[in-house]
Structure 1
Amino acid sequence: MLGTALLLAGCAPSTGDVLQEVRGRIERQDRDGARILLKDLLQQQPTLAEARWWMARVLLDSGDTAAAEVELRRALEQGWPAAEALPLLGRLMLQQDKAADLLRELDRHRVEDPAALRRVQLLRAEALLVTGRVSDAERLLAPLAQGPDAEPGARLLQARVLRAQRRDAEALQLARQLTEASDAPATAWLLLGDLQSETGAMEPAIASWRQALQRQPDAAAAHGALITALLARGERGPARAQYEQMRQRLPGRPQTLFFEATFAALDDQWPRTRELTQQLLRGSPPNARLLMLAGQAELQLGAPAQAQALLAKAVQSAPQLGAARALLAQALLRTQRPAEALETLAPLIGADSRDAAALTLAAQARRALGQRREADALIARASQIAPDNGLIQASRQLMRLEQGPDSGAEQALAAAAGRDEGLRLDLALLATQLQRKDVAGARQTLARIQAKKPDSPLATYIDGRLTEREGRREAAMALYRQALTHDVDFMPAIVRLGELELAAGQGQLARERFEALLSRKPGDLQATLLLADTLTRLKQGEAALPLLETAIKAEPRSADARLAQADLLLALGRPEPALNAVQAGLVVLRDHPGLLERQGRAQLALGQPRAALATLGRLGSNASPQAQLMLAEAQRGAGRGEAARATLQRLVGQFPQDATIGEAATRLALEQGRRDEALAQARRLQGALPRSPLGALLEADITAAANQWDASAKALRLAAERSGLNNTIAARLHRALSLAGREAEAKALADDWLRQQPKDPGFRVHLGDMAMARQDPAAAEALYRQAQSLAPDSPLVLNNLAQALAQQKKPGATALARRAVSLAPEQPALLDTLAECLAAESRWSEAADTQSKAVRLAPEDPGLRLQLARWQLQAGDKTAAAQELQQLARLGSRFARQDEVSRLLQKVHQ
């Protein structure tokens, strides 16, 4: 070869010689050799436009369209004629679904040559057509398709315009005319096949696509159309043979890899499908079919959150694609979002729908929402449409089974699962068995799953879940680790293993596991959220915030990332940033129920009940019980007590066994002075939750509020019967007996408890608190020191001991309070004590600074804010004190200490 010969002869080849050698190698299809020569040449002459042009051609022939586009742009920048570069660049951009970008690119360049200008105009017409500007494309095409100088391809594009205008008969007629010529291009035959397939004429369509391949054996679109059609007809063998032809002609091309991923999915090789689709998603702009296949892989591999993100993008890019909507609905159902699943399925389940699969999914969503009548109606429709569909009939049996034990339904479902090669029915049966705690039946179902998929991580993972239910945690963890030997990224096993490690106090192991996952899958949304959640649970929330911010930048429409960010900010006591974050999320996820809930919560935390009312009112029928609870809180905060009462009473009627709702209704009644109503609610809870101490504890609170200490003690003894005498109940019972004047019983209880629990510091803290209430700080100090000997690093013990010393004006109080804060830096009560100790030493500015930190952490606590105003006044900062006092004054009757607020405001104005 010329280049090699010149080098061996000791001569440096000229640029022209190298480029001539490159052209020769391209003609001989030696692309690798051409690329090496061009790479060397561009290292020496990086601004050589012709070399860039040829490099783009080589990269394009190799299937690397993205890199080819980069080289073409560089060639243009370095002076390569736009008349030559633009047509090729346009083809590349259209292949990558960048029609809108192409229109902008064409506007940037001026082409003088008439022939080149016509080619550019043809490109512009195609870009207009792709972006939906059909009329503009039609007008631009008219002169290009007429006369002796008609541009090749213009009439073909006219046929595509007719197709876009739904003028199918005219489009088909024109496509047939174009294929009558002996030299008809492959693209004409491809279009004719597409049009024929749309009319249901599949045999002629397949023949047309084969004609396209005879004229252009490397026509990727024709290969793809044939494979897709053959698969749709259930002809897997011919489809696979066609794929093999494609692979030989177009090895490594994105289209080829897509079909390799498709056949891997058909062979249940989902890890390979995931690997290929992730590679394709990284390498080129995703289309709906690729996103759908990638989402299906994640769904099959137990990663419904990741599947949801991918499938949502598929539906967004192709809303008319019913299969993508159905898969997204499955993912939403897996992540317990039935209302969103129904919304996704809405276009597929209208009154005239014949989509039995979509109707079945909608029935599952209705069932998850507790709407059984609607669910039965939907599954009945699906069953009429597809009476021979085993999956649908099995779904009917599953609904029967979920309504209660039904041996006939279970046998029918098990039989259907045995006939089905897949796992869907087995998993549905397994879920109902686990719900009924039928571990023996679940083991039988697992045996069938293991027989079908002996090397699947899913079977091993299910074994782990059953083993965990049997109380064998270590054995379960070993099974989860075994599942990860089958697939290191099998998400359910990773998640469950991390959960168990966190529960066992091995949080660092869980953190390292999720960090390793994220290093293998950089930018992966689910991995990022798992790591952020782990950091939050390890009390390292500040380290989790940047992760969530990165996830949101990468996936602005990810509701999961935005919800996690809001929850973390609220947990960190930062409602204002949380509100800002939620409002940013609502810009892109308008009226998202979860985000509206967080917005309401943040507004309540910021003391904005009226704003929270408006926010929560937007939820309407989408309001969850938790959101309705917040609505009641907002109504209460806005002075609408009767509305709050009505909301809670409605919730109690709907969810009589919900402890949180029952407690809220009880406490509101007590707050409103409806003592009898509060007592009735507490006693109702005792009956509704016979194993829970909650109702008895609430009764103890109600009677204590009325200073009925004997009745309070009686209720506390009932609570102890239900849950056992724990530290908290023992302390409360001791206090009630003491205040009832039953000192002997109180002393006996204390002595018995300390004898049985000699290492319990908590009860000694309680006794110390009782001494402080009696104005006996010396006795309290002695008790707190006993507690300190048992729990030397307890922030609570150190805090209370500091208070006792401060009241006695003894040295060391501030040092103890500082140590307590260093051990728990984000506890407002501890900061309050430290501020009090500093104030006792007349260090007013330090006390005010410390107290302001407490207020930032608990802005809803008016007592902390009042104390801050005191220290600010003592420090001479009347302006800051006035701001705090005015905010307290606006609370009105919601803050009982308004007399103190008024006195301090008078001092401000003196």
Structure 2
Amino acid sequence: MIDIRQILGTSMTTWKSFNRAASSALLTVVILAGCGGETPESMLSSAKAFMAKNDNKAALIQLKNALQKNPNLGEARFLMGKALLDGGEPTSADVELRKAKDLQYSADQVIPLLARAQLMLGQPKKVTDELAKVQLTLPESKADLQASMGQAYLMLGKIEASTAAYAASLIDYPDYAPALVGQARIMAAKRDFAGALALLDPVLEKSPGLYDAWQLKGDILYAKGDRQGSIEAYRKAVDVKADFLPAHSSLITRYLEEEKLDDAGKQLEAMKKIAPKHPQTMLLQAQLSYQQKNFKAAEESIQKYLGIVPDSTLGLQLAGAIEYELKSYSMAVTYLTKVLSKTPELGLARRILIASYLRSNQPAKALAILQPVLDKIEKNSNMLALAGEVYIQNGDAEKAGIYFTKAAALDPGNTGKRTSVALSHLAQGETDAAYRELEQISSVDSGINADLALIAAQLKGRKFDQALKSILVLEKKQPQNPLVQSLRDTALLGQGDKAAARKSFEQALVLNPTYFQAAASLANLDLADKKPDDAKKRFEGIIAKDPKNVQALLSLAELRGTTGGKLEEVAELVNKAIAANPAEASPRIVLIGIYLGAKENKKALAAAQDALAVLPDHPEVLDAAGRAQQAAEDFNQALATYGKLATLLPNSSQPYLRMADIQVGAKNKEGAMLNLRKALSLKADSIDAQRGIMMLDLDAGRTSEALAMTRQIQKQRPKEAVGYVLEGDVYALKKSWNEAATAYRNGLKKNGETVLAVKLHAVLEAGGGTGEADKFADSWLKDHAKDLRFRLYLAETANARKDYASSSKQYRLLLEAQPNNPAMLNNLAWAAAQIKDPAAIEYAEKAYKLAPEQPAIMDTLGWLLVAKGDTARGLELLQKAINLAPQNSSIRLNLAKALVKAGKKDEAKKELETLSKLGEGFPAQAEVTKMLQGL
């Protein structure tokens, strides 16, 4: 016999004083294990006795000893698996149960437990794939397996299969509690809480030891809003099974939600005794420390948690929130960017990420994160207020004021939100009172929300003197914040003081040399002063300090594009932004867009493939890639890409609209209609989906259905023009001019938008009533003298029908309102030239002076100079124009004509041959053919 004192490591004195009557089952097992005469069968009997007393630890020791002597003891393997499963060790239990199965131990006993182990391991598909067809004999075993099968199907989201499995379980064993609990779980999933509780309560009355049923009841009561009832149910679960972690976790979570931090702390201590190293324990500790504002402790706990569960979205979100509070904004951005890539709709992560970008002076990045959800924040005052701050930091005071006001309108009666109340007064037109309230809040509040709201309102109201005074107050609170200077610049520019604004922008860059907003504003001033090289240096200065600054790199590329840079040069600059920030989506999307805009579809597709290789699940990258695939006519791949986007954004209609567009192009009208209806089911007032369905209905001759859709739109959008525009368009397509005119007139009665006036004039003219059309135009302009859009429409339509006298008249009237509009001057120059007006070239010269890098303006002036006889300068301008816009066939034709006139027939022939390759796609092909024949 082994000396027990050596095993226990006790001294003789200690051993003598040991109370043998109180010795544990563990001691008994150790003594028995040391006796050489015990057989595996006797150890097995001993283990069963311990299991009957719920002493699984002692039982496991006996079972291990038995298996050391006889590894092929099937019952021992089964009991070992059962004890491990009861002790919450499903991995080890799965191993032992499979060994018992291999040793041909009773399938009626092994298989149900094996199914439970796999469920605990989160492997529901393994249960359905491996065990669904297993045939058992005992009713209780069959019921047990079917109940597990029901849970597995439920975990896989297969509600019908789950319902059938639970029903089968109850056929084999009526009133089988786990199956009834499963049925209650399905009812709860369908939000039939009353039905679920009606099923659950009798089960718990009969079997109060079902701790998972108590947990389910707690979850249901919580979903119903009965927080206290849910806590009591979770307590019951813990009382039944003290080591049941889900109930501990739920209790702590409820306490944290109610900010009962002491109760949460006590419950967490109980959980630590059971599972101190469990990831959920660490996560809850981090959450508790965060709410206690002990951010360093929270950081330590969340790091331990992420060390075990590195991809947890909740863990990454909490880590980002903690780093934000610690003012470690770059780390916060790292964590929160990962979260958004996995779950784009996660609101808190997005909000903190936006705030992190704002606090680290990256307002453009904050705006990029905000924009995808702008249409979903109308009922979220916190997000609306944050949107206001984003826009004001991006220099858009008008939009900032709109969002601040919307935020206030949601909660105007809450006197605790004094800033919101003041803004609500502003929204109601009580401007002076609102300004006074905001000024009072600003004077006593060390925060800057009221200051920003006040400044945004003053800038929006063009009260620049008052805004400058408010900015001084903000500057005293945060003298080192470059936003102060940026706001001052906006006010100074509003006053027209460019010199002072320039000085203020430069001061902002002194405070923060990488402050992009200030550099961009200075670059705009440089461009206005015709100093593109100075503008370029602004962005290069930021890049020198911050070589990875995406905004500066992309702005440099954009500047190169607008100042005559070739496609390859612009793309090279964007590629530098990609190389510096390979995981950043925006430069990759810009590159795809640049190639698509230049109709370089193969290059766009290659850029899209590169982007997808790095960011395969980024929604905006997927959207850009889908457009590139569509442009390259790889329709199947484009559909697959948008299908993936639809999976990532299940509540967005956009992917289905994109797929419908592709299918229309591929002549798959049925598929297009199906996707348009899916889009409409997600967004009932999606005008794009409604318009698409209408077009397909009209194409199929279903005019009544199309008209019904227009009336539905009118009901949904009674104050908008779109429904009436579409109704009139349907009639116009059918050349039912009177009905179209009636629809447009009805729209004008409710909404006096220019688009309706334009449409009405067009159908009146098309119906043969030129006099009536002219009469309407005169009437409209009499009542809407400042409607420049309508006058521009009249000018362009006159131009189109070669009524150059009328178009010249309208352009001159437009120029009275906008004397320095280069596009208007250019159009007037062309129309005036057609009626031999000697002032034509004067208009063209002025347009060129205002916009010297615009190909269309160079084309007009160049051609007029050639016509006047100044061939050398005219050719120079036309050549420069075609270099900037090589795809513009009209400019190329004018260049060819000028070359012919200059006697350069070989060069002209080369240009005309380029045009001839376009075939019938170029409307002036007949003229090209005639010119070639004449050379």
TM-score norm. by structure 2 comes to 0.58
Q: Alpha-carbon deviation of 1:257?
A: 3.6
Query: Is structure 2 residue 595 aligned with structure 1 residue 535?
Result: yes
In the TM superposition, residue 296 of structure 1 has moved relative to its aligned partner by 6.3
Deviation, 1:145, is 1.0
Please show how residues 520-531 of structure 1 align to structure 2 within 5 Å: 529-531=589-591
Tell me which of 189, 200, 206 is aligned to 1:141: 200
Judge conservation of contact 2:264–2:288 (CA < 8 Å) in 1: no
The answer for the alignment partner of 1:546 in structure 2 is 629
How far apart are the structure 2 equivalents of 1:55 and 1:424? 62
Cα shift at 1:501: 5.0
1:123 Cα offset (Å) = 4.1
**Higher-RCO chain (CA-CA 8 Å, sequence separation at least 6):** 1
Return closer, same or farther for 1:731/1:401 CA change in 2, 3 Å cut-off: closer
Supply the AA of the counterpart residue of 1:396: L
Matched, 1:393 2:393: no
**Structure 1 position 448 matched with structure 2 position 511:** yes
Is the partner of 1:352 in helix, strand or coil?
A: coil
Report the counterpart of residue 352 of structure 1 in structure 2.
413
Q: CA deviation at 1:141?
A: 0.8
d(CA) in 2 for partners of 1:700, 1:636: 26
- The answer as to whether partners of 1:700 and 1:716 remain within 8 angstroms in 2 is yes
Offset, 1:396: 0.4
Q: Distance in 1 between matches of 2:587 and 2:877?
A: 41
**2:829–2:843 Cα contact (<8 Å) kept:** no
Residues 655, 358 of structure 1: alpha-carbon distance in 2 compared, 3 angstrom cutoff: farther
Aligned to 1:851: none
- Give the Cα separation in 1 of the matches to 2:148 and 2:159: 11
1:296 to 1:793, Cα distance in 2 relative to 1, 3 A: farther
- The CA deviation at 1:568 is 12
- CA distance in 2 between counterparts of 1:242 and 1:421 reads 36
CA distance in 1 between partners of 2:881 and 2:350 (Å): 61
CA deviation after TM superposition for structure 1 residue 533, in Å: 1.6
Residue 664 of structure 1 deviates from its aligned partner by: 1.7
After the TM superposition, which residues 842-857 of structure 1 pair with which residues of structure 2 at under 5 Å, given as runs? none
Report if aligned partners of 2:811, 2:828 keep a CA contact under 8 Å in 1: yes
Distance (whole Å) between structure 2 residues aligned to residue 839 and residue 465 of structure 1: 53
Instruction: Percent identity, please.
Output: 12
Any idea what SS the aligned residue of 1:166 has? coil
Instruction: Tell whether 2:307 aligns with 1:307.
Output: no
Distance 2:341 2:118 in 1: 21
Q: 1:638 aligns with which of 758, 763, 777?
A: 763
User: Matched residues in 2 for 1:785 and 1:93: separation?
Assistant: 81
Give the partner amino acid of 1:161: I
User: Aligned with 2:599: secondary structure?
Assistant: coil
Partners of 1:577 and 1:651 in 2: how far apart? 45
The answer on 1:256 being equivalent to 2:373 is no
Correspondence 1:754 to 2:814: no
Q: Partner residue of 1:865? A: none
Aligned to 2:923, the other structure's residue is in SS state helix
In the aligned structure 2, how far is the partner of 1:89 from the partner of 1:306?
Answer: 45
Q: Give deviations 1:341-367, integer Å, cap 9, x for gaps.
A: 86996897155356859959998xx99
What residue in structure 2 maps to residue 820 of structure 1? 915
Select the residue among 678, 687, 706 that pairs with 2:816: 687
SS of equivalent to 1:829 = coil
Counterpart AA for 1:132 = R
Give, in angstroms, the shift of residue 120 of structure 1.
Answer: 4.2
Q: CA deviation at 1:491?
A: 4.9
Matched, 1:161 2:220: yes
Report the CA distance shift for 1:538/1:350 in structure 2 as closer, same or farther (over 3 A): same
Deviation at 1:23, TM superposition (A): 7.9
Query: 3-state DSSP class of the match of 2:178?
Result: helix
Letter in 1 for 2:188: L
Q: Which of 645, 655, 673 is equivalent to 1:555?
A: 645
Q: Does the residue aligned with 2:211 lie in a helix, a strand or coil?
A: coil
Question: Given residue 636 of structure 1, which amino acid in structure 2 is its aligned partner?
Answer: H
Contact kept, 8 Å, 2:181 with 2:213, in 1: the verdict is yes
CA contact (8 A) 1:609 1:638 kept: no
Post-superposition offset of 1:546: 1.7
Which residue number corresponds to residue 128 of structure 1?
A: 187
* Aligned positions, number: 737
**Residue correspondence of structure 1 range 48-67 to structure 2 within 5 A:** none
The alignment partner of 1:690 has SS state of coil
Residues 120-156 of structure 1: per-residue CA shift (max 9 Å, x gap): 4334434533542212221221222112465223234
Q: How has the CA–CA distance of structure 1 residues 781 and 274 changed in structure 2, closer, same or farther, with 3 Å as cutoff?
A: closer
Cα displacement (A) at 1:311: 4.5
Which one-letter code corresponds to 2:458 in the other structure?
A: R
User: Is contact 1:666–1:677 with CA below 8 Å preserved after alignment?
Assistant: yes
CA shift at 1:789, angstroms?
3.8
Tell me the amino acid that sits aligned with residue 295 of structure 2. Answer: R
Question: Aligned Cα RMSD in Å?
Answer: 6.9
Cα separation, 2, equivalents of 1:372 and 1:573: 52
Task: Go from structure 1 to structure 2 and tell me whether the alpha carbon gap of 1:120 and 1:516 turns closer, same or farther (over 3 Å shift).
Answer: farther
Instruction: Describe how 1:570-585 pairs up with structure 2 within 5 A.
Output: none
Q: How does 1:795-834 map to 2 (within 5 A)?
A: 797-798=912-913, 819-822=914-917, 824=918, 827-831=921-925
* Residue equivalent to 1:882: none
Q: Does the 8 A contact of 1:629 with 1:648 survive in 2?
A: no
- Partner of residue 847, structure 1: none
Whether contact under 8 Å (2:153, 2:161) holds in the other structure is no
Which amino acid counterpart does residue 509 of structure 2 have in structure 1?
A: L
Q: How far did residue 399 of structure 1 move?
A: 3.0
Q: Is the 8 A contact 1:307 1:328 kept in 2?
A: no
Rate the CA distance shift 1:197–1:529 in 2: closer, same or farther, 3 A: same
Partner of 1:111: 169
1:783 aligns with 2:900: yes
Question: What code does the residue aligned with 1:553 have?
Answer: G
What 5-or-longer segments of structure 2 have no aligned partner? 1-70, 136-140, 527-531, 606-626, 631-637, 727-752, 767-771, 883-895
- The one of 561, 565, 568 equivalent to 1:505 is 565
SS in 1 for 2:451: helix
How far, CA to CA, are the matches of 1:427 and 1:88 in structure 2?
65
Which residue identity does 2:871 align to in structure 1? Answer: L
What residue is the counterpart of 2:13 in the other structure?
A: none
Name stretches of at least 5 consecutive residues in structure 1 with no aligned partner.
Answer: 1-12, 451-457, 736-745, 766-778, 799-818, 841-910
Q: 2: distance between equivalents of 1:764 and 1:282? A: 43
The separation in 2 between residues aligned to 1:284 and 1:54, in whole angstroms, is: 33
Q: Bigger CA drift: 634-643 or 378-387?
A: 378-387
Q: What do residues 746-802 of structure 1 show as CA deviations (whole Å, max 9, x unaligned)?
A: 8xx41xx1255565668999xxxxxxxxxxxxx9899368354445543xx45xxxx
CA separation in 2, counterparts of 1:513 and 1:93?
52
**Which string of whole-angstrom CA distances, capped at 9 and with x for unpartnered residues, describes residues 618-673 of structure 1?**
7665669x995554443334337878987998799889496x55422444688999
AA matched with 2:792: E
CA distance 1:265–1:151, change in 2 (3 Å): same
In 1, the alpha carbon distance for the partners of 2:523 and 2:414 equals: 43
Distance 2:777 2:489 in 1: 34
Answer yes or no: is the 8 Å Cα contact 1:261–1:273 preserved in 2: yes
Given that 2:875 and 2:898 are in contact with CA atoms closer than 8 Å, whether structure 1 keeps it comes out as no
Alpha-carbon shift at residue 217 of structure 1 (Å): 3.3
User: In the alignment, is the contact (CA less than 8 A) between 1:128 and 1:134 conserved in 2?
Assistant: yes
Indicate if the aligned counterparts of 2:485 and 2:507 stay in contact, CA closer than 8 A.
Answer: no
Offset at 1:192? Answer: 4.3
Q: 1:285 to 1:677 in 2, by over 3 A?
A: closer
CA distance in 2, matches of 1:126, 1:689: 68
Distance 2:157 2:859 in 1: 67
Q: Which residue of 2 aligns with 1:877?
A: none
- Residues 175-324 of structure 1 mapped to structure 2, 5 A cutoff: 183=242, 185-196=244-255, 201-217=260-276, 224=283, 227-228=286-287, 230-232=289-291, 234-243=293-302, 246=305, 255-269=314-328, 272-277=331-336, 279=338, 289=348, 302-303=364-365, 307-308=369-370, 311=373, 323=382
Give the Cα–Cα distance (whole angstroms) in 1 for the partners of residues 72 and 387 of structure 2: 59
